[in-house]
Amino acid sequence: MTCSKASSGCSPVRPALPDGYELSDDRARIDTAAVHAYLSTLYWAEGRPLAVVADLVRSSARVVGLYHASAQVGFARVLSDGATTCYLADVYVEPAHRGRGLGAALVAFAVDGDPALAGLKWLLHTRDAHNMYRRIGFHEPSSRVLER
Ligand SMILES: CC(C)(COP(=O)(O)OP(=O)(O)OC[C@H]1O[C@@H](n2cnc3c(N)ncnc32)[C@H](O)[C@@H]1OP(=O)(O)O)[C@@H](O)C(=O)NCCC(=O)NCCS
């Protein structure tokens, strides 16, 4: 899916959250072991080593954590050249916290929370969460998009 700044569905930079939840883009706060442990259960990241997850947390253009009572319960990261294009990856909310808008809030904060990236071309892949991403302004790509 793709997203542009002109999309009317783009969300506020700091989405409102239910009590007890917090979003942060403080890279130092990411609990890499917790992120690795949960990503390991997801189809696209199965078998990804802890050291690789740690490298990705360090090297991604932006990393966002969702916290409940200070514990990491969600994550997203952004690849970007900082000037033209961003790619949203490794988005998750742990199952006990789903279904109350936290996934959409996490994505909105990842995409719109840094003004230097918010206006760039955004891309992502998803198997079944299209509706969540549509809320943040993502839509099916045109025939100009190819992948390999
Ligand atoms: C996708 C995910 C982050 C959504 O988290 P969440 O906190 O439940 O999301 P929200 O409560 O903000 O839901 C937003 C909307 O998307 C829909 N949605 C979320 N996940 C969905 C899924 N897997 N399939 C279909 N619809 C989904 C919800 O039904 C909701 O729509 P509604 O309010 O009209 O019912 C979470 O289910 C998850 O971590 N899944 C496993 C990892 C994953 O698939 N990540 C996305 C990879 S691209």
Q: Two tokens at 82?
A: 């900082």
The CATH class that applies to domain 2-139 reads: alpha beta
**In the prediction, which pLDDT does 13 show?**
67
The residues spanned by each domain of the chain are 2-139
**In the prediction, which pLDDT does 14 show?**
77
**In the prediction, which pLDDT does 8 show?**
35
Determine the Cα–Cα distance for residues 36 and 89; give it in Å rounded to an integer. Answer: 14
- What does the pLDDT profile of the chain (148 residues) look like in tens digits? 776 443 334 444 678 899 999 999 999 999 999 999 999 999 999 999 999 999 999 999 999 999 999 999 999 999 999 999 999 999 999 999 999 999 999 999 999 999 999 999 999 999 999 999 999 999 999 999 999 9
Q: Which residues have CB under 6 Å of ligand 1?
A: 42, 91-93, 98-104, 126, 128-129, 131-132
Q: Which protein residue's CA is at the shortest distance from atom 34 of ligand 1?
A: 131
Distance from Cα 66 to the centre of ligand 1, integer Å: 14
**In the prediction, which pLDDT does 15 show?**
84
Distance from Cα 129 to the centre of ligand 1, integer Å: 5
**In the prediction, which pLDDT does 6 show?**
39
Token match 């892949």: residue? 125
> CB-hemisphere CA count at 13 Å for 15?
22
**In the prediction, which pLDDT does 12 show?**
44
**In the prediction, which pLDDT does 2 show?**
74
Angle between helices 32-39 and 50-59 (to 10 degrees): 120
Count of other CB atoms within 10 angstroms of residue 105: 24
Q: Coil, strand or helix: which one is 101? A: coil
**In the prediction, which pLDDT does 97 show?**
98
**In the prediction, which pLDDT does 11 show?**
41
